[in-house]
Amino acid sequence: MSTALSSQATIDLFKEYVIPNYGRYPVNLARGEGSWVWDSEGDKYLDLFPGWGCNLLGHCPPRVVQAVQEQVATLIHVPNTWHMEAQGQWAKMLSDRSFGGQAFFCNSGTEANEAAIKLARLHSSPRYKIITFQGGFHGRTLGALSATAQPKYHQGIGPICAGFSYAPFGDLEAVRGLIDDETCAILVEPVQGEGGVRIPSQEFLAGLRELADQHGLLLMFDEVQTGCGRTGQWFAHQHFDVTPDVMTLAKAVCGGVAGGAMLAKREIAPSLRPGMHAATFGGNPLAARAGIATLETIEEDDLLSHCRQLSELFRERLEALQQELDLIREVRVLGVMIGIELAVEGAPIVAQCLEQKLLANCTQSTVIRLLPAMNLPFDEAEQGLQILADVLRRQQAA
């Protein structure tokens, strides 16, 4: 394939042939390495939001690249009617680092949550209702979308799936009030990502565990964004010392390659019985090798520890900036999951960062969200923080 098109020529292709369901910046990214990406004109950007949270090891992490290169020339895909070593090894590695459950593999976060929703219903039939949380995000397919308590994403879609009810995030009494004889599960992000990096109290998650145990419900954690080291632990629930019955993973789970997984406790997992669920590409050899290489990279490079140090750096710098600027309402940091709540719209800030060649994100209108790579070097973190600080200072002065 030729890669000689100008940015404008590529943008024109999109205008003509790609469905415009995404807001896209007028930049054509061509290459990436670590926390840097280059566009097709050769301009270089510092990426503090690499791959929308998927590139937790930065762009093109070498062990993942090598594993995929080897595997793609050996066996690309075989169906799940066969065994394959890499999928088995990957399942064991995820199980060993979480709560010892069994894995079902798929290709995305929404699919992992669909599997969790079906498992909960199958496990508890005829109970079928699931409680989820306002501001949560679980994906775009109809089941996961119905679990996503954000009305803006339901508009114009027509009837969503029955059986979901929504509680305010952090409100245990509201959850208790929603539980009835037909409730089978609670599905929650241990830290809400798209909802603005909302970090709950330990008491809230422990309280959910208690309610689930009292009422025979499955406690299901959507760790699609928080999982795989993002928060400085393998999985966010380990920060809160609360173990779910089911956990969903995607985004960073394959180091930037597409992949997803659902882990379920051993006594629950068999409820997803043969014939009741499947994903054609789930756990394919490429994804499995990438998944294994991701976990190995985190371990061999001691990245959980680096992530916690990075976290402190971001927290210190951003809290100091908050003291300086009224513009910043709140700073929320867990690992390298970072939310900066502003008193103004965040989109213009992100646009100005882009002009300064820094990539960031805005969610919930007023929250600047950074999901930097967990192997971001400290000096690059300082560089990015400097650009962001300058943009915010200019905004405050304006």
Please identify which residue in 47, 194, 245, 341 interacts with ligand PLP, judged by CB under 6 A.
194
Q: Which is nearer to ligand PLP, 29 or 258 (CB)?
A: 258
Contact 136, 192 (CB under 8 A): yes
CA 191 to chain centre: 10
Please identify which residue in 39, 222, 341, 380 interacts with ligand PLP, judged by CB under 6 A.
222
Q: Which is nearer to ligand PLP, 47 or 222 (CB)?
A: 222
What DSSP element (H or E) covers 358? strand 358-359
From residue 188, give the alpha-carbon distance in Å to each of 149, 247, 346.
11, 10, 26
Amino acid at 222: D
Q: Which is nearer to ligand PLP, 135 or 207 (CB)?
A: 135
Amino acid at 218: L
For the four alpha carbons of 279, 281, 285 and 287, in that order, the dihedral sign comes to negative
For the four alpha carbons of 319, 320, 321 and 326, in that order, the dihedral sign comes to positive
Binding span for ligand PLP by CB under 6 A among 80-88, 102-110, 375-383, 384-392: 102-110
Asked if 139 interacts with ligand PLP (CB under 6 A), we say yes
Asked if 190 interacts with ligand PLP (CB under 6 A), we say no
Cα within 13 Å of Cα(129), Cβ side:
13
Please identify which residue in 28, 110, 284, 366 interacts with ligand PLP, judged by CB under 6 A.
110
From residue 317, give the alpha-carbon distance in Å to each of 74, 171, 191, 320, 375.
47, 31, 22, 5, 18
Binding span for ligand PLP by CB under 6 A among 11-19, 36-44, 79-87, 105-113: 105-113
Residue with CB nearest ligand PLP?
109
Q: Which is nearer to ligand PLP, 11 or 258 (CB)?
A: 258
CA 77 to chain centre: 25
Please identify which residue in 175, 224, 249, 338 interacts with ligand PLP, judged by CB under 6 A.
224
H-only helix segments in 325-360: 347-355
Q: Shortest Cβ distance from residue 234 to ligand PLP (Å)?
A: 16
Residue 182: Cβ within 10 Å count: 11
- The b-or-e profile of 278-296 (16+ CB within 10 A means b, else e) is ebebbbbbbbbbbbbbbbe
Size of the site for ligand PLP (CB under 6 A): 15
Residue 302, SS3 per DSSP: coil
**What x/- string results for residues 237 through 266 when contact with ligand PLP is judged by CB under 6 A?**
-------------xx---------------
Binding span for ligand PLP by CB under 6 A among 72-80, 188-196, 212-220, 291-299: 188-196
Q: Shortest Cβ distance from residue 279 to ligand PLP (Å)?
A: 12
* SS3 labels along 2-35: CCCCCHHHHHHHHHHHCCCCCCCCCCCEEEEEEC
Q: Which is nearer to ligand PLP, 46 or 247 (CB)?
A: 247
Please identify which residue in 87, 146, 225, 375 interacts with ligand PLP, judged by CB under 6 A.
225
Q: Considering only residues 111 through 130, tell me which ones interact with ligand PLP, judged by CB under 6 A.
A: 113
Q: Shortest Cβ distance from residue 250 to ligand PLP (Å)?
A: 4
Please identify which residue in 28, 55, 71, 108 interacts with ligand PLP, judged by CB under 6 A.
108
**How many contiguous H segments (helices) and E segments (strands) does the chain have?**
12, 15
Q: Which is nearer to ligand PLP, 57 or 371 (CB)?
A: 371
Q: Which is nearer to ligand PLP, 157 or 343 (CB)?
A: 157
Asked if 195 interacts with ligand PLP (CB under 6 A), we say no
Calpha distance 334→233 (Å, rounded): 10
Binding span for ligand PLP by CB under 6 A among 30-38, 134-142, 169-177, 238-246: 134-142
Asked if 98 interacts with ligand PLP (CB under 6 A), we say no
Contact 87, 283 (CB under 8 A): yes
Interface residues with ligand PLP (CB under 6 A) are 108-110, 113, 137-139, 189, 193-194, 222, 224-225, 250-251
